[in-house]
Amino acid sequence: MAINNTNNNTEPEQAHEVTIFAEPVFHVGNFQITNSLLNSWLAVLVIVVLCFALRRNLKQIPGKIQHIFEIFLEGAMSLCDQVTNDRRITLKIFPLVASLFIFILVNNWLGLLPIVGSVGFLANEAGHSVFVPIFRAGTADINTTLALSLAVVIASNIFGIMIIGAWKIFNKYVNIKALGGIVTKFRKDKSVIIVAPIAFFVGILELIGEMAKVASLSFRLFGNVFAGEVLLASMGAIFLYVLPAPFLFLEVFIGLIQALIFSLLAAVYFTIASQDHEEHEEEKHVAHA
């Protein structure tokens, strides 16, 4: 969306547009600081200040605010238990999953504040005077969501290595054990010559699936938040005061839902990575025997 205004022939054309990329605000050497990065830093600052405030006021007998936060915390852990089905796994992954939820939620909601997207400066681009906002929702930048998704997928595999071992995680993707079974099991079971290559190919599909997780996580979050930005900007340009209000409340709800979906999917990935599929298969064979 772009709004162009021209006062006369001598003044440069001004444009205010919602771009799919984050705009640079300033540079530190060769490092480019974008408005979405500034907003992410602001989100971290808000979270740190909130944590220090809560930590400072912790009491053995909780007050009203502390009691509310404890209720939310226990509810969140119960929700995580429904994903992991194991309290021990929940206690290990909950700090990271909860941190992801809070960071994404604060980033989503900061993007709805009046100062985000409306306070900025004019920059000259190709003969046009373009308005560049100082702050922009961090999750409306594909770089932020991609970084979060990569961190989740990599961390889930590291967690799997810590729980079930590096060899089993490696064998999950490059199933050398299945190929080795052709030699060791061929005399007893001739069908292994067909089953083993299929099992090896399934491992390759698992590796492709890990890459697909990064794409699905990042594009889902980015697409929903960026679409909300465009929607609010469009409605604000058409009807400035009355019409955008319902859409603003809708984006508050969507911001909460997207943060919840991202964090729950992260919990699912951590849970899957911590499960030993070989042990489950052996248990099934013993049960059938």
pLDDT tens digits, one per residue of 76-86 = 999 999 999 98
pLDDT value of residue 12: 46
Bigger pLDDT: 186 or 155?
155
**Distance of alpha carbon 215 from alpha carbon 207, whole angstroms:** 13
**Distance of alpha carbon 138 from alpha carbon 150, whole angstroms:** 16
Residues 107, 40: contact at Cβ < 8 Å?
yes
CA-only gyration radius of the chain, Å? 25
List the structure tokens of 107. Answer: 């980033």
Please report the DSSP string for 25-52 in residue order. EEEETTEEEEHHHHHHHHHHHHHHHHHH
Query: Is pLDDT above 60 for 279?
Result: no
**Distance of alpha carbon 126 from alpha carbon 226, whole angstroms:** 25
Confidence of residue 136 (pLDDT cuts 50, 70, 90): confident
pLDDT value of residue 267: 94
pLDDT value of residue 105: 93
Confidence of residue 93 (pLDDT cuts 50, 70, 90): very high
**Distance of alpha carbon 22 from alpha carbon 33, whole angstroms:** 10
Distances (CA, A) of 42 to 21, 218, 237: 19, 21, 27
Average pLDDT, the chain: 79
pLDDT digits (tens, 9 = 90+) for 186-238: 667 767 777 777 878 888 888 898 889 999 999 999 888 888 877 777 776 67
pLDDT digits (tens, 9 = 90+) for 18-67: 666 777 787 787 888 888 888 889 999 999 998 888 888 778 777 787 88
pLDDT value of residue 11: 47
